[in-house]
Structure 1
Amino acid sequence: MPNTATAPPPEGFDNDVTDTGRLDGASRWRVFSVLTVIVLYTEVAPLQYIMIAAALQKMGATFPTVGANLSWAVIILTLVGASATPLLGKMSDVWGKKRLFLCCGGLFIAGCLIDALTTNWTLFLIGRALQAFAIATQVISYGLIRDLMPRRYVPVGLGLAAAGLGFSGVLAPVIGGFLVDHFDWQAMFWFLAIFTLIMTPIVMLVVPESKLRVKERIDPIGALLLSGGAGLTLLYLDKGQDWGWSRPTTLAWLVAGVVLIVLFFVVENRVSRPIMDMKLLRHPKVSMVLLMTFFGVFVLAVQSYALGYMTQTPSSDELKGTVAQGVVDQAQQMTGATLPISVVRVALEPGYSYGSGFSLLQYAIHLGIWTGIVSMIFGPLGGIIARRTGARTPAIVALVVMASVSAGYALATTSYSWLVFAILAAIFGIGFGLFYAAVPILMVDAVPQEQQGIGLGMLGVTQSIGSGVGIAVVTALLNNGPITAHIDVMGRTVDQTIPQVYADNGWVIGFWMVTATTLIALIVALFMRHGRTPATGGA
């Protein structure tokens, strides 16, 4: 029996002759205009992630009581994205990809407006949950490109869609930095909402709808079980350190999460119209790509979060000066006396080596843009390589690069230099671009076109859960190393925990952890048989 993931088409459906609206007779100008608009609209997903992840350190002042839970501004995005993407992927097969593409954009705009207008943590998370639908725009765009682009352009188009046109990777850190430094973090959400509002009518006018339709009912039960299971598991990983890893009340969250995930697989195997085709999911062409993706995205999620946070943290000397000045100001407020700052001595336990005290704009110029510039080049290059030799090759190169850079971050953290981090970030862009190009190409070539939406939805779930688990685990490691300031004022000592500043050890272990997960992904890619022949664009 041939090794193929292609399922028999529905009655009356022929993979090779079904008209999907492909622009085979269109001019290059028409083809690339459609591709450009699709890619620009999907850039809201990486755009918001890069901007918000990099700005978390600055946003902490608005939500001082949430502490390390600030990372849920990113985790909730991955959680909701994981639950919504497969459902939306299947809905795009049934109701139309362009239609769902625009609906996701509308929900994203609503989420941005909520966050631009609130300083309430609960409402902020609701807004972030709505913004998670932007993740589905990226997944749906792969299906649109597969349906609309001439075959020869599909691999390159997917590589371009994955890496973007440089708007998110290059401009997002600069735009976010300018807005936060000159206005406030809410300005980022106004910008994101306006950008999407402008792009929406352009998509409506320029991008045709795919003609591909699959007549199936939508079953949301699987999505609810998957999202509930993933959410409870992520909550355990994120809060286990605070609650006690082995306490029964803490373990109950993990057990409940695992039970829901198991139920998800049981239900999906038994219902007539599952949200995920379990036979397709178990096929080596699909399962190996998803396994590689799950472990590979850990480092992709953590890198942006870690670099933005670490470089914007003040140096230890700056932090000591800030704490001492706070004691002087408090004394003056309480007694009216002016206390000489020289009598206030501050020692940090444990100390830390990183911290540049950058503004968000300084971070963008010094580090943030370099990953984006390099990935913008290597994303389309990954598509070209896949079309000529197969998508497995750029995936392997990407994982080697990312594992090496992650190990470099771990080794460089305790002798921190922003210049070393900037060089590593630029090299990381090679892996970033190649990996995000290879993965959708592998998936498009692995599944038949009538299951394209749900197949790419599976990919979106895997990316979202992998990203969420990576951030949650690193957050737990950071919580294990809080910084305490020992404040001595003329012989009297007071201890004060410094919020949202962490010891070197948490970051170092976190980088080694994602290095290990990237190596696991590399092993999977080396054993993977799929992707060893030139990509066909889903033919």
Structure 2
Amino acid sequence: MTSAPENVDSAPRPEPDPEPDATNRLDGASRLRIFAVILVVVLFAEIAALQYTMVASAARQIAPSFPSVGANISWMVIIFGLVGGATTPILGKLSDLWGKRRTMLMTGVSFALGTLICALTHTWWVFLVGRALEAVAISAPTVAYGLFRDILPRRYIPAAIGVIATGLGMSALAAPLIGGALMDAYGWRWLFWFLLIFVGVMMPLMWVVVPESSLRTRQRLDIGGALLLGGGVGLVLVYLSNGNTWGWGRLDSLAYLFGGLAALIAFLLVERVVAEPIMDPKLLFSPRVLVILGAATLGSMVIGIQGYSIPYMLQTPTQSQLHAQILGVALSGSGGQTLPPAMAPLFHTIFNSTLAFGLGATLLAYGYYSAVYSGGVGMLSGAGAGELARKTGPRLPLIIAMTMFTLSTVLYAYFPHSKWQYGLFAAVFGIGFGAFYAACPNLMIEAVPARQQGISAGMLGVVNSLATAVGTGVLTAFLSGHPLKMEVQIQGLPESATGGGFHVIPQLYAFSGYQQGLLVAAGCGAVGLIVALLMRHGRSPATGGEATDQGVPAQRTAA
């Protein structure tokens, strides 16, 4: 691949950067101090991942509290990615301007406020406002990457990045178990009370244990660009998630699509003229960075699709459970007509889809059947991939990640869904999950010098957040087009006596919708694998950014 014509460092800077190590680096600190800093930063950075996994896994249980929204219950997950994607670059720049620790603490305050709102409200749009405030914390891992680069001894940086990936695996492991126990005992609102307590404990620890980086660069905030990007993607996702209900070709539906596309085009034009864009075109189109962001987009779409579909599938009732529920409604008369108990043996239900994928699991059971495997393996994979990046380069972990992403989605789409198979498929996905979150940040750190770490980390955070939201939105489009339907038949009675024909079961979906979404994820993983195999960057051992800080220009090395 040819090199980019422009130097990615050519953008004018108001003042020179500090020396690479003039950042309060803990070179003389004890191992205990260094490990304490890593632990606290990682736990703090986990607040967004913990709640994402906890709330996304509980969507099936939260949905009955908002019955009017239907398939759009997924917007409690989508809005998290949209707002996180729009705010991450702004907060990435603020971290360069005000300090990375201070910025992380700011995200904690916003998260706490949003969590309090979600715990208290009974109104859907207010709940979404709370979710949006929580989403600001998505930037915490992105800022943490830069904080590690600034304050840790260089030999610890690649492994510390891997530990963040390990922490993401820990969140995937712990969230359904903690959330399931709380939900079974107290209801879903206690998910948010727990998260509020967690962030309330972590903020003082962050202030006391973690030193602030002294690296500062002047920044101009591209708020307009962030609004255009987040708004544009959001409008397109509104069209995707509601097109089946509204009508794909109706003018009022198409207005969302064309409005979103217009906003995205305006975003690209604005980024070319603003002094300090959230996605610097010179940096964006440098070979290394462009390839990394492309791989991150594909991998995050896989995570968005799997992260929403698998918990929902596993918590879908079995055919016998649904039959019993429908029969119970008929016997109680709550459906409008009362079925005499003597006719119960003659009562039959027919569904438009197999329900073999549903286990009727509670959130806690989902944790036992799936999350312990994906999260536990993800923890080990993240730590191992960080060490692998240090020894062989971060490209190999990316290859492993994309291979496992592709394999796991194909397994979910085409193979049976017993308890042990869910666990096996989750473990395969967990290998990819941990490796992915160790590979991409290390690839980016090795691609750009310290002065561009804030904007490059922000760009990576934007891509991860928005692509996850897009993946969930694409899945929602398939699910809304494939609702689960049932027909009631009573032996000896005409079809008209039972209402006739199939009727939609609210907030449950046919397997064909999940399968099509998973095949899109498999395609993303396969293309991502090709990108990783062709990537020329990341084949040398990770140095924690030392090579680029010493003057190796990112744009002069092929991708």
- Give the TM-score normalised by structure 2: 0.92
1:100-499 aligned at under 5 Å gives the runs: 100-164=103-167, 167-330=170-333, 340-412=343-415, 415-489=416-490, 490-491=493-494, 492-494=497-499, 495-499=502-506
1:505-520 alignment, distance < 5 Å: 505-520=512-527
More displaced 10-residue stretch of structure 1: 341-350 or 417-426: 341-350
* 3-state DSSP of counterpart to 2:226: helix
- Residue equivalent to 2:550: none
1:168, distance to aligned residue in structure 2 (A): 1.1
Equivalent position amino acid for 2:528 in 1? A
Cα deviation for residue 98 of structure 1 reads 0.8
Shift of residue 469 of structure 1? 1.0
Structure 1 spans left out of the alignment, 5+ residues? none
| Corresponding residue SS for 1:43 | helix
Q: How far apart are residue 60 of structure 1 and its match?
A: 1.3
1:19 shift after superposition: 0.7
CA deviation after TM superposition for structure 1 residue 249, in Å: 2.4
Matched-pair contact (CA < 8 Å) for 2:148–2:160: yes
Give the distance between the partners of 1:334 and 1:406, measured in 2 at CA: 43
Structure 1 residues 373, 282: closer, same or farther in 2, change over 3 A? same
Distance across 2 between alignment mates of 1:63 and 1:131: 19
Name the SS of the counterpart of 1:505 in structure 2.
helix
- Following superposition, the deviation at residue 524 of structure 1 comes to 1.4
The DSSP-based 3-state class of the residue aligned with 1:65 is helix
Whether the aligned pair in 2 keeps the contact of 1:213 and 1:450 (CA below 8 Å) is no
- Report if aligned partners of 1:9, 1:15 keep a CA contact under 8 Å in 2: no
Q: By how many angstroms is 1:534 displaced?
A: 1.2
What whole-Å deviation, never above 9, does each CA across 1:475-532 have from its counterpart, x for those lacking one? 1111111122212354312243101111111111111110001111111112222111
RMSD: 2.0
1:9–1:378: structure 2 CA closer, same or farther, 3 Å change rule? farther
Aligned to 1:54: 57
Question: C-alpha offsets along residues 44-95 of structure 1, whole Å, 9 cap, x if unaligned?
Answer: 1111111111111111111111110110010000010111111111111111
Q: CA deviation at 1:452?
A: 1.3
Aligned length: 537
Distance 1:165 1:338, change over 3 A: closer
- 2:388 maps to a residue whose letter is I
CA apart distance, 1:224: 1.1
For the residues of structure 1 that align with 2:302 and 2:220, how far apart are their CA atoms? 37
Q: CA deviation at 1:474?
A: 0.9
Q: Cα distance 1:7–1:448, how it changes in 2: closer, same or farther (>3 A)?
A: farther
- Measured after TM superposition, the shift of residue 165 of structure 1 is 7.3
**Aligned match of 2:549:** none
Equivalence for 2:554: none
SS at match of 2:458: helix
Q: Secondary structure at the match of 1:499?
A: strand
Matches of 2:432 and 2:340 in 1, distance apart? 57
Secondary structure of the residue aligned to 1:23 is: coil
Question: Match of 1:436, as an amino acid?
Answer: Y
CA contact (8 A) 1:298 1:467 kept: yes
**Amino acid paired to 1:497:** V
Conserved 8 A contact 2:378-2:430: yes
Write the letter of the residue equivalent to 1:170.
Answer: L
State the distance in 1 between where 2:337 and 2:262 align: 54
- Residue 164 of structure 1 aligns to a residue whose secondary structure is helix
1:433-470 CA distances to partner (integer Å, 9 max, x unpaired)?
11110001111121221221221111111011111111
- Note the C-alpha offset of 1:247: 2.6
Structure 2 counterpart of 1:428, which letter? Answer: F
The aligned counterpart of 1:529 is 536
Cα distance in 2, alignment partners of residues 536 and 6 from structure 1 = 20
Q: In the aligned structure 2, how far is the partner of 1:335 from the partner of 1:433?
A: 53
Structure-2 change in CA distance of 1:140 and 1:339 (3 Å): farther
Which deviates the most, 401-410 or 326-335? 326-335
8 Å contact from structure 2 (residues 170, 378) kept in 1: no
CA–CA distance in structure 1, aligned partners of residues 338 and 351 of structure 2: 27
For the 8 Å contact 1:292–1:525, the answer to whether it is kept is yes
Instruction: Give CA-to-partner distance per residue, 1:88-128, whole Å, 9 cap, x none.
Output: 11111111111110000110011111011112111111111
1:35 aligned partner: 38
- Tell me the CA shift for residue 17 of structure 1: 4.3
Letter matched to residue 482 of structure 2: G
**Shift in Å, 1:351:** 3.9
Deviations 1:139-186 (A, max 9, x none): 111111111111111110011112217541322111011011111000
Aligned partners of 2:17 and 2:217 also within 8 Å = no
How far is 1:300 from its partner? Answer: 1.4
Letter in 2 for 1:522: L
Q: Quick one: structure 1 residues 396 and 176, their matched pair in 2 at CA, closer, same or farther if it must change by over 3 Å?
A: same
Shift of 1:316: 1.4
| % identical equivalent positions | 44
Distance (Å, rounded) in 1 between the aligned partners of 2:315 and 2:8: 47
Contact residue 77 and residue 132 of structure 1 kept, 8 A: yes
Q: Write the distance in 1 (CA, Å) between the matches of 2:15 and 2:22.
A: 13
Kindly state the Cα deviation for residue 330 of structure 1 after the two structures are TM-superposed: 1.5
**CA 1:357–1:134 in 2, change beyond 3 Å: closer, same or farther?**
same
Distance 1:421 1:7 in 2: 50
* Alignment match, 1:500: 507
Residue 336 (structure 1) shift = 11
Q: Distance in 2 between matches of 1:295 and 1:443?
A: 16
SS in 2 for 1:537: coil
* Structure 2 unaligned blocks of 5 or more: 547-559
| C-alpha distance in 1 between matches for 2:219 and 2:49 | 31
CA distance in 2, matches of 1:537, 1:13: 21
- C-alpha distance in 2 between matches for 1:332 and 1:147: 63
